[in-house]
Amino acid sequence: MALEEYRRKRDFRKTPEPAGGSPARKTAAAPLAFVIQEHKARRLHFDFRLELDGVLKSWAVPKGPSLDPGEKRLAVEVEDHPLDYGGFEGVIPEGQYGGGTVLLWDRGTWTPADPDPAAAHAKGMLKFELHGEKLHGNWALVRMGGKAARERQPNWLLVKERDDAAVPLSGDAVVMDNPLSVESGRSLEAIASDRDRVWDSQKGEATPTRRSDRIPGARKGAMPVGLKPQLATLATAAPAGPEWLHEIKYDGYRLFARIEHGETRLITRSGLDWTAKFPELAHAFGQLPVDTALIDGELVHLASDGTTSFSGLQDAIATGKTGALHFFAFDLLHRDGWDLTSASLEDRKAALAEFITPQAAGILRYSDHQEGQGPAVLRQASSLGLEGIVSKRRDAPYRAGRGGSWLKVKCRNREEVVVIGFTDPEGKREGFGALLAGYYDPSGTLRYAGRVGTGFSAERLADLRKRLDSLVVKDPPVVLPKEAPRKGVHWVQPALVAEVEFAGWTADQILRHASFQGLREDKSPKEVVYDPSSRNGGPVTKPAPPEPADAGASKPARDGSVMFERVRLTHPDRVLYPEDALTKLDLARYYKTVAERALPNLVHRPLTLVRCPGGQGKPCFYQKHLGKGSPEAIGHVDITEDDETVAYPVIEDLAGLVGLVQMNVIELHPSGAGVDKLDTPDRITFDLDPDEGLAWPRVTEAAVDIREALLAIGLRSFAKTTGGKGLHVVVPLQPKLGWDEVKAFTKWVADQFVAQSPERFTANQAKRARRGRIYIDYLRNSRGATAIGAYSPRARPGAPVSTPLFWEEVEQGVRPEGFTVATVPQRLAALDTDPWAEIGKLRQSIGAAVRRRMAV
């Protein structure tokens, strides 16, 4: 159709709708976009749009999509739309073409199954995979035959294919449970009532006057409260492409400037109000030509050579000479009633430059950037003696927490450490001799990291000694290695964080040639955590000594295969985790080590598998149905779905686990029901999925709260990590209730938490609804749905493992990063008892009284 029909229906002299120009061209490697817009016109429907041949191929789906493969949804093909139409959300007034409310319901990219999707579309059989914020997995659009195919607007069917994203018998749940916009987080009613966003074909959409109001993604809204900063992920090299902007990495204090009607508050990354510390800076912000604004940046001390000095910053604060400091503003998140966090970085910075210009030379400065050429920018920064650079995707929105759209690349080694002690001074030195440093590993254990003996002035030595004396304790707060000093040492509570510059880490994870730069008053000691799987020069936990090459396996056959637990492993040296050099044989050995704990949670259950033939980092796929040629050690159970009987994989012992390894399976997702009672689940799972950047204590606190709520209605529960950023709360049940009843119960529990604490929780899977919240995913408890199994690895860097925990560990804040294929066997060897020893012995049910409360 191209855009002829689209243009014929619109008078672009009267409407600001995009005319579309010539169809856009993309490189072969560029991903294809899709969008779904909920449209409440004369009748409510969903507009399903796929990018193809430079336009959006479009279908009107009256009932919207369904995750149930048995639901074949009518999809009426309509005129092609221009690509930029996919970003529209607002109100088209009555009397105009398509008058009504439009909500951006989902968006993302799609991958065609056919190498020639245009030909597949012409034939009327278009299969594809969606990668959206709400919809995922494999789908098909099938054109109907007969008279329907000859209509001016041909009728198609939109069908969800059977895969791990499918939810049989779910009906309209995905639409009913996810009503909010992925763009603005608003409902249809909220959009309809927002008259500032009305799209009038006669007058055009109301357009504000400031650039910050006009940019795509800006929306009316109050200034965010309690917003956490976006953080950069440490990288070893600067990205080179034109899609990146590169800024100087400053060595100072990160601050939000919150301006409201001329009054300014300066807030640290941890939420402390530091306005009183920097009165001159607060006054400067108050003079800006804005009524309300939220500005992100860094307060620094500029040395004479133009570099930033953290020690100079601390001296200025200590002496009260803060008027000589400078604030480099690098982001604008809100201005005069408009929320800019969903706009691109490039547009946010352009709006910021309107009132803090790149030429500004006072206490307020604009953090300028270089477009592209990251490696060259890093070399220049290194030659100037700077700390490093921060590379940011120019098209990315602002998202709290650490992610991949901001990267930091250092020219030199700087880290924070926890102060755990000090030594007596020697010679003419006063105060103390050296600080003793530590860091927390991901399991929450404080570890010794060496001495920091240089970088102190006489004033700092005296001031620090006073603070340290008030923190002295009798015993060391860490388990000391042999090389740690003991004579003349005073131990202190781990309450202070110091920034140090150093030459590197030894093989024993000890700092080399560390020099003190200053105390980090803006950081908590618990934030000083180093990931054992880090490859960026930080401490690395030593893995257990490798087993001998022939441990558990026969000698290699002529073709290189080995027998392991009665299963022939072909290509046993094939690497499944490249960064960790873990092979198929290593994974088989892992399962042998943990089998006693893992098997009770995996056997006799239908399994969904994640297979990675090329290893982690290469394409993987979900598989539910057992194909031909599977190892004999893997059994199956026949399940009838939509009048079709299919075989699901089932294992009974360690040989079955090894058989799955032979198939290059990395993840195991068991059903909540056993094979003998497929219709009545015996385990339910509450999946706590936190928003990006949400503090880990929020997650552990939520898990404990759910445990207590379940106990109040007579149900004991168990906890485990997900192998990702969340936690699972698992409840064993006697298999008495059906899937629909169990799902209704888990939804009721989730809704109770959302109703009581809407600022903490959401039961809506849309990413927009999760901002600053924990998503309680109760959909794991639907027929056909699964959750990652206990002791199963994940197909993620570092080979993380979904690991059962004691509730005491959850209460103490144990972090999930430390549980990997390399470390979990060591953990189990050190435990006297099993955290889940009772999970298979409990006899508990969702009582009739609870079900009556649900019905109210």
Q: Do 336 and 194 fall within a single domain?
A: no
DSSP string for residues in 708-756: HHHHHTT---EEEE-SSS-EEEEEE--TTS-HHHHHHHHHHHHHHHHHH
Q: Which of 21-25, 504-508, 819-823 holds the top average pLDDT?
A: 819-823
Q: Judging by DSSP bridges, how do beta strands 413-423 and 489-502 pair with one another?
A: antiparallel
Q: Do 264 and 316 fall within a single domain?
A: yes
pLDDT category at 23 given cuts 50, 70, 90 is low
Q: Do 704 and 826 fall within a single domain?
A: yes
Residue 545 reports pLDDT greater than 50? no
Q: Do 400 and 475 fall within a single domain?
A: no
pLDDT category at 813 given cuts 50, 70, 90 is confident
Residue 552 falls within a domain, yes or no?
A: no
Q: Do 815 and 687 fall within a single domain?
A: yes
Helix axes 739-756, 696-712, angle to 10 degrees: 120
Q: Do 615 and 502 fall within a single domain?
A: no
**pTM, rounded to two decimals:** 0.44
Residue 22 reports pLDDT greater than 70? no
What does the pLDDT read at residue 629?
74
Catalytic residue among 249, 349, 523, 725: 249
**Residue at token pair 């959302």:** 754
Mean pLDDT, range 507-526, rounded to an integer: 83
Residue 116 falls within a domain, yes or no?
A: yes
- Can you read off the two tokens belonging to residue 291? 């009524």
- Which of 602, 636, 670 represents a domain boundary (last residue)? 670
The CATH number of residue 263's host domain is 3.30.470.30
What does the pLDDT read at residue 149?
52
**Residue pLDDT, tens place only, 467-486:** 999 999 999 999 888 878 88
What does the pLDDT read at residue 662?
93
Residue 557 falls within a domain, yes or no?
A: no
Q: Do 202 and 252 fall within a single domain?
A: no
- Residue 58: closest CA among 107, 131, 1: 1
- Can you read off the two tokens belonging to residue 488? 């003349």
Residue 677 falls within a domain, yes or no?
A: no
**Residue pLDDT, tens place only, 275-332:** 999 999 999 999 998 989 999 999 999 887 778 888 788 888 888 889 889 999 999 9
What does the pLDDT read at residue 180?
83
Neighbours of 414 (CB within 10 A): 17
What does the pLDDT read at residue 205?
42
Q: Do 332 and 376 fall within a single domain?
A: yes
What gap in Å lies between CA 613 and CA 224, rounded to an integer?
A: 45
The CATH number of residue 590's host domain is 3.90.920.10
**Residue at token pair 């041909």:** 154
What does the pLDDT read at residue 543?
34
What gap in Å lies between CA 252 and CA 303, rounded to an integer?
A: 12
What gap in Å lies between CA 501 and CA 309, rounded to an integer?
A: 12
Residue 427 reports pLDDT greater than 90? no
What gap in Å lies between CA 37 and CA 770, rounded to an integer?
A: 20
What does the pLDDT read at residue 540?
37
Mean pLDDT, range 518-547, rounded to an integer: 59
Residue 609 reports pLDDT greater than 50? yes
H helices present in 109-220, as ranges? 117-123, 173-176, 188-193, 211-214
What does the pLDDT read at residue 535?
35
> How would you class 833 by CB atoms within 10 Å of its CB: exposed for 0-12, middle for 13-18, buried for 19 or more?
exposed
Neighbours of 711 (CB within 10 A): 11
What does the pLDDT read at residue 694?
87
Flag the least confident range among 53-57, 90-94, 227-231. 90-94
Q: Judging by DSSP bridges, how do beta strands 370-371 and 435-440 pair with one another?
A: unpaired
What gap in Å lies between CA 249 and CA 241, rounded to an integer?
A: 19
- Contact partners, residue 285, CB within 8 Å, separation at least 6: 257, 259, 264, 295, 364
What gap in Å lies between CA 206 and CA 787, rounded to an integer?
A: 47
What gap in Å lies between CA 141 and CA 59, rounded to an integer?
A: 10
What does the pLDDT read at residue 642?
67
Domain that holds residue 448: 414-527
- Which of 410, 444, 463 represents a domain boundary (last residue)? 410
Q: Do 262 and 385 fall within a single domain?
A: yes
* 380 vs 607: which has the higher pLDDT: 607
The one-letter code for the residue type at 294 is L
* 481 vs 193: which has the higher pLDDT: 481
Residue 534 falls within a domain, yes or no?
A: no
Q: Do 190 and 145 fall within a single domain?
A: yes
Flag the least confident range among 551-560, 750-759, 783-792. 551-560
pLDDT category at 457 given cuts 50, 70, 90 is confident
The CATH number of residue 514's host domain is 2.40.50.140
Three-state DSSP state, 144: coil
Mean pLDDT, range 398-404, rounded to an integer: 78
Residue 621 falls within a domain, yes or no?
A: yes
- Which of 353, 383, 410 represents a domain boundary (last residue)? 410
What does the pLDDT read at residue 202?
41
Tally the domains of the chain.
5
Helices (H) and strands (E) in the chain, counts: 17, 44
Enumerate long-range contacts of 791-794, CB under 8 Å, 24 or more apart: 791/594, 791/597, 791/598, 791/601, 791/602, 791/824, 792/598, 792/602, 792/667, 792/668, 792/669, 792/723, 793/587, 793/590, 793/666, 793/667, 793/723, 793/821, 794/666, 794/667, 794/722, 794/723, 794/724
- Contact partners, residue 28, CB within 8 Å, separation at least 6: none
What does the pLDDT read at residue 20?
63
Residue 196 reports pLDDT greater than 50? no
Residue 249 reports pLDDT greater than 60? yes
What does the pLDDT read at residue 480?
87
What gap in Å lies between CA 702 and CA 776, rounded to an integer?
A: 10
Mean pLDDT, range 83-97, rounded to an integer: 77
- Residue 66: closest CA among 179, 168, 187: 168
Mean pLDDT, range 136-149, rounded to an integer: 82
Q: 665-703 as b/e, with b when 16 or more CB fall inside 10 Å?
A: bbbbbbbbbbbeebebbbbbbbbbbbbbbbebebbbbbb
Residue 544 falls within a domain, yes or no?
A: no
What does the pLDDT read at residue 26?
53
pLDDT category at 142 given cuts 50, 70, 90 is very high
Q: Do 236 and 347 fall within a single domain?
A: yes
Flag the least confident range among 2-6, 359-363, 699-703, 795-799. 2-6
The answer to whether residue 249 is catalytic is: yes
- Residue 815: closest CA among 400, 402, 441: 441
What does the pLDDT read at residue 221?
81
Mean pLDDT, range 96-120, rounded to an integer: 89
What does the pLDDT read at residue 310?
82
Q: Left (φ > 0), alpha (ψ -120 to 50) or beta: where does 455 sit? A: left
- Residue 362: closest CA among 293, 424, 283, 430: 283
Q: What is the mean pLDDT of the chain?
A: 85
DSSP string for residues in 499-546: EEEESEE-TTS-EESEEEEEE-TTS-GGG-B--TT--SSS--PPPPPP
**Residue pLDDT, tens place only, 314-327:** 888 888 889 889 99
Residue percentage of the chain with pLDDT more than 90: 45
Q: Do 303 and 395 fall within a single domain?
A: yes
**Residue at token pair 């003996």:** 453
pLDDT category at 552 given cuts 50, 70, 90 is low
The one-letter code for the residue type at 372 is G
What does the pLDDT read at residue 493?
94
What gap in Å lies between CA 746 and CA 851, rounded to an integer?
A: 11
